[in-house]
Structure 1
Amino acid sequence: MAQKHRSPANPQIFPPLNREAELDRLALKMRTASGVGIQLLGLIGTQAENLLDMLPAPARAGLEKATAAALEQSFNAAQATRKGRVADAPDWLSRAISVGTGAAGGFGGLPSALAELPVTTTVILRAIQSIADEHGLDPALPEVRAACLRVFAAAGPLDDDDGTDLSFLTLRLSVTGSAVHGLITKVAPRLAIPMGQKLAAQTVPLIGAAAGAATNYIYTSYYQDMARVQFGLMRLGAQTGEDMETLSAALKQRLA
């Protein structure tokens, strides 16, 4: 049966939310999203703060361009799978697929890790679109497509700011389809740093496959959590009538 068309964050799809309880829940999700990352990277013997230094200079220089290209490819591929009615995968399956691609990418060092980058980005973006749908948003609408991309503007899972970077939540959501490329160029520099950390971990001699699997699990889990914060606030705003700036400020107070 065809899916019913929905407007962004339709408040009628879900029962009324308790504003304060929902903000507390979202703050907890932001605070705990990256905790497992450092632990997993420690298990494979990689120091998170030194990961980018492990990349060759040419790779570091071209990282932003490679990340933007990966986002461009991934955005189109992820959207195509939804148009093809490929069923949304549960969280655990998206993470499992990401683990497999990460292991394969890390097996051959930097060249295979770079080749794997668009594949993993597609898996993560497809998972983000599924979470938008889960929150009553239509991923086919331009403003929701833009919000899916903006999730990638969140601080990476190895960032040490304790989840207080909320700029990805407060950006305007009125981007049309023609402006998606411009949005990608704005998001790519922010995404390049965590993706560089991921690539560096995958180039660790002997344990590149294990590092690729572990970092892909970390990144997929992290961006799934950030998507639930983004779309959770959008759903709450649809019910309360508050804008994203107001709700994000209230969320930041809880994280302070």
Structure 2
Amino acid sequence: MTHSHPLPVLFDAGLSRADLEALQAAVAALERQSFATRLAGAANRQLSFGSLTLPPRLQAVATAATQKALIAAMKMALASLDAQPAKDSIRIHRRLAALTGGMGGAVGLASLPLELPVSTTIMLRSIAEIAQAEGEDMRHPGAALACLEVFALGEPSGESNVLEGGYLALRALLAKSVTDAARFIATRRVADETAPAMARLIGAIATRFGVIVSQKAAARAVPVIGAISGAAINVAFTEHFQSLARGHFVVRRLERVYSPALVHAEYAKIARAEGYWDDPSQAA
């Protein structure tokens, strides 16, 4: 895989140099590093964290905790986020994540149903501030749901079989669910997770977020990585989604400045040039 290709060769699309550089950073954030890779870095070990799995009973616990966490996060996103100026509290959120991870680590996997909704809500606050910094209006249901969408971004396409085609393909897959949910909220002025439009979106996000949650839970359970504290795992978990959020909302900002089609074409060009996409057909 190659990196840091010069940007001038990409100027034919009409984006400014600053916006091309921002997009290149966004592509790296969204396509390059998986949560498993980040965990391996935290452990300072060459281990295949991506292959970690939970026993069926614990997997059921993780799945239920994921659904609960996303529902809680969705309600918070739509009920309490506002258009106040963004605050630079990224480090505060990481410290809170470390605290909840440390508390959960002391109890073990049994704490997941209680700890995950808390850590997910903390992450959502951080994601919302990143969104605001990139010009999102948090009074709009679509912006709030875009924050929730970050939890579906998960693993880069090159390191996961969840979805081929990377970030753009996943955005396209979720687009109708996000649009339908935003329309439902705008019409009803309420976030009801049992409504079909909301349930479909939560289910689609939970399927992908659950992969990372399972890796996180399994990491705590494997003795060989006992040197990683629950706090360190939660910090890696939070940093992973903060990085994804930065890339996601840079792309959305550029879509507002230019056009989605133009930005997506340039995104695909950068992804291929950097070696994140080996098959050009995955750009769709």
Mark yes or no: TM-score above 0.5: yes
Q: Which amino acid aligns with 2:39?
A: G
Q: Which amino acid aligns with 1:187?
A: I
* 1:251 Cα offset (Å): 4.6
Secondary structure in 2 matching 1:220: helix
Matched, 1:189 2:207: yes
Q: Which amino acid aligns with 1:41?
A: A
- Aligned-pair identity (%): 29
Q: Give me the TM-score of the superposition, normalised by structure 2.
A: 0.71
CA distance in 2, matches of 1:114, 1:213: 17
CA distance in 1, matches of 2:129, 2:153: 18
* 1:249 Cα offset (Å): 3.0
CA contact (8 A) 1:113 1:202 kept: no
Matched, 1:20 2:47: no
CA contact (8 A) 2:62 2:113 kept: no
1:252 equivalent in structure 2: 271
| 78-87 vs 237-246, which moves further | 78-87
CA distance in 2, matches of 1:136, 1:83: 13
Q: How does 1:202-217 map to 2 (within 5 A)?
A: 202-204=220-222, 210-217=228-235
1:200 equivalent in structure 2: 218
| 211-220 vs 198-207, which moves further | 198-207
Secondary structure in 2 matching 1:129: helix
1:39 equivalent in structure 2: 41
CA contact (8 A) 2:38 2:236 kept: yes
- CA RMSD in angstroms, aligned pairs only: 3.4
CA contact (8 A) 1:37 1:218 kept: yes
CA contact (8 A) 1:146 1:180 kept: no
Secondary structure in 1 matching 2:260: coil
1:152 equivalent in structure 2: 151
Q: Give me the TM-score of the superposition, normalised by structure 1.
A: 0.77
* 1:56 Cα offset (Å): 3.4
| 178-187 vs 101-110, which moves further | 178-187
2:49 equivalent in structure 1: 48
1:65 equivalent in structure 2: 64
CA distance in 1, matches of 2:249, 2:44: 31
Count of aligned positions? 239
CA contact (8 A) 2:31 2:166 kept: no
Structure 1 unmatched runs, 5+: 1-15
CA distance in 2, matches of 1:32, 1:59: 29
Q: Which amino acid aligns with 2:130?
A: I
CA contact (8 A) 1:77 1:122 kept: yes
CA distance in 2, matches of 1:146, 1:19: 24
Q: How does 1:234-253 map to 2 (within 5 A)?
A: 234-243=252-261, 245-246=264-265, 248-253=267-272
CA contact (8 A) 1:23 1:250 kept: no
Q: 1:66/1:118 Cα in 2 relative to 1: closer, same or farther (>3 Å)?
A: same
CA distance in 2, matches of 1:209, 1:184: 34
Q: 1:196/1:131 Cα in 2 relative to 1: closer, same or farther (>3 Å)?
A: same
